[in-house]
């Protein structure tokens, strides 16, 4: 046993020594690291000699740098621990296949952009009460998640919570199925207490489409515009104490198997009207700008007691 441990230590030391020599020789610009699953040899992270592991690139890139990931298939779960840009070649070209027992990409630092990936799961879902998502970020600011595809995955597709400067743009989330510990929460996009915007995303063929939540009395402002929520098994879009929605415009909520649009009081779990309806002691959700939303073909289109700003909803 001691002999094997010694061999492993020597191997790690040798690999680190080689990497230091390559970097010292100018093989790589540490602010731009390249990764290619088809590369041969250990590589040094340069464009001509890329790494094969995305996580290695995330570890070695400098803060504020970019990890460029080439077209191909990568079997890794990733953790982002510093400000950086993680750039795939496109959601139709760079496939990240992750163990669904953990988050596919977990963002633990602020000032991070993730773009151009397809994130799918494999293996057995996490049986414990730990929320797992294809892409997960919480308690971090200035996050941009753009032009990705997420799914199939177990648990959640995309979870972002407790942050400011959040941009969630043009992502496709589909085929999100149950995680055993959360049998009713298989949701495409879930956002909680954010200042920022969620626009141009599609959430379809999941158990639920999109959850937007806050806490009573909290101060956050979120814009929801141009999203398509369609053909989910149950809820389309749900506001859970989602106070304040600064802009709810140009969204389409179509053909979902449950209520298309709901506003719920989380503490009591009953339907409430938006902006001070009679079913609640006080409003749980207030909407600022609201226009050109199309909601139809759901079962029903609005949860019981739901109210909205006149002229906010257009017929399908």
Instruction: Give the C-alpha separation, 17 to 21, whole Å.
Output: 6
pLDDT on residue 18: 43
Q: Is the backbone of residue 22 left (phi > 0), alpha (psi -120 to 50) or beta?
A: alpha
Q: Give 227-264 pLDDT, tens digit per residue.
A: 999 999 999 998 876 667 788 889 999 999 998 888 76
Which of these ranges, 24-33, 125-134, 180-189, 259-268, has the smallest mean pLDDT?
Answer: 259-268
CA atoms within 13 A on the CB side of 302: 14
Q: Evaluate whether 134 touches 164 at the Cβ level (below 8 Å).
A: no
> pLDDT band for position 265 (50/70/90)?
low
Q: Give 46-99 pLDDT, tens digit per residue.
A: 999 999 999 999 999 999 999 999 999 999 999 999 999 999 999 999 999 999
pLDDT on residue 26: 61
Q: Give 288-301 pLDDT, tens digit per residue.
A: 777 888 888 999 88
Q: What is the mean predicted confidence (pLDDT) over 114-127?
A: 93
> Is the pLDDT assigned to residue 269 strictly greater than 90?
no
Nearest partner of 210 among 314, 277, 295, 290, judged by Cα: 295
- For the chain, list the domains and their CATH numbers: 32-314 (2.160.20.10)
DSSP letter string over 222-244?
Answer: EEEES-EEES-SS-SEEEES---
If one compares 283 and 56, the residue with the highest pLDDT of the two is 56
115, β-bridge pairs:
87, 146
Query: Cα–Cα distances in Å, from 38 out to 4, 19, 43, 54, 68?
Result: 30, 19, 11, 12, 14
If one compares 161 and 2, the residue with the highest pLDDT of the two is 161
Q: Give 164-222 pLDDT, tens digit per residue.
A: 999 999 999 999 998 877 766 899 999 988 889 999 999 999 999 999 887 666 667 88
């Amino acid at each position: 046993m001691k002999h094997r441990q010694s061999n492993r230590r020597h191997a790690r030391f040798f690999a680190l020594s080689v990497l230091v020599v390559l970097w010292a020789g100018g093989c790589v610009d540490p602010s731009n690291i390249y990764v290619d699953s088809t590369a041969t040899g250990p590589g040094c992270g340069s464009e001509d000699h890329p790494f094969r592991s995305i996580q290695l690139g995330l570890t070695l890139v400098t803060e504020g740098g970019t990890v460029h990931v080439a077209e191909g298939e990568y079997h890794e779960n990733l953790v982002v621990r510093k400000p950086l840009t993680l750039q795939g070649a496109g959601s139709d070209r760079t496939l990240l296949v992750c163990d669904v027992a953990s988050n596919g990409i977990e963002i633990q630092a602020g000032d991070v952009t993730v773009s151009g990936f397809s994130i799918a799961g494999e293996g057995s879902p996490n049986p414990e009460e730990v929320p797992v998502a294809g892409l997960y970020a919480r308690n971090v600011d200035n996050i941009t998640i753009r032009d990705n595809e997420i799914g199939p995955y177990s648990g959640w597709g995309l979870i972002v919570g407790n942050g400011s400067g959040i941009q969630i743009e043009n992502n496709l989330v589909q085929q999100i199925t149950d995680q055993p510990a959360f049998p009713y929460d298989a949701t495409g996009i879930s956002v909680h207490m954010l200042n920022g915007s969620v626009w141009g995303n599609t959430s379809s063929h999941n158990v639920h489409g999109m959850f937007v939540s806050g806490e009573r009395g909290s101060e956050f402002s979120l814009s929801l515009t141009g999203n398509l929520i369609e053909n989910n098994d149950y809820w389309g879009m749900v506001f859970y104490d989602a106070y304040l929605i600064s802009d709810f415009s140009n969204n389409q909520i179509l053909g979902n198997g449950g209520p298309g649009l709901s506003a719920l009081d989380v503490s009591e779990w009953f339907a409430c009207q938006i902006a001070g309806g009679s079913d609640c002691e006080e409003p749980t959700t207030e909407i600022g700008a609201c226009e050109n939303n199309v909601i139809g073909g759901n079962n029903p289109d609005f949860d019981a007691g739901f109210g909205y700003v006149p002229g906010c909803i257009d017929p399908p």
